[in-house]
Amino acid sequence: MRFQAREVGWRIGRSEVPHGVELWSRFDRTTGVFGAQGSGKTLDLLAPALLAHGGPALVTLTKLDDLLLTVSRRRAGGRPVAVLDPFRTAPGIEELVWDPIDGCVDPMVAERRAKAFAAGT
């Protein structure tokens, strides 16, 4: 079976040693990026990966510009986008509302959620 690397992962750059080998991360793996503020983490790595990936993505962003950079293009491609914005910093973007108490009338649901919150997961 043959496939293109971009079908299963996103390009994260090129290696220094050995020089010039393409580096890829699979879509189903968590990837962390460390770098100084303004070093291009979002613009050079996250945004291209998010736009190239056709499947679901869970992304945490703290800047409105980063959200606006990707949300309209993902929606235009027919991919659903849900934004949890508890501080309402993204006007005009449909809000995702999640109520952790909803459903807790069932004692089993309430217990599972309480344990998850207490465990910090």
Give the Cα separation of 44 and 31 in Å (integer).
14
Largest CA distance in the chain: 59
Report how far apart, in Å, the C-alpha atoms of 26 and of each of 4, 5, 53, 68 are.
12, 9, 10, 25
Report how far apart, in Å, the C-alpha atoms of 106 and of each of 97, 110, 118 are.
20, 6, 18
Question: pLDDT 10s digit of each residue in the chain, 121 long?
Answer: 888 888 888 888 888 999 999 999 888 888 888 889 989 888 888 888 888 887 777 788 888 888 888 888 888 888 888 888 888 888 888 778 888 899 999 999 999 999 988 987 5
Beta bridge partner(s), residue 11 = 24
User: What's the burial of 42, exposed, middle or buried (CB within 10 Å: 0-12/13-18/19+)?
Assistant: buried
Give the Cα separation of 30 and 28 in Å (integer).
7
Give the Cα separation of 30 and 48 in Å (integer).
16
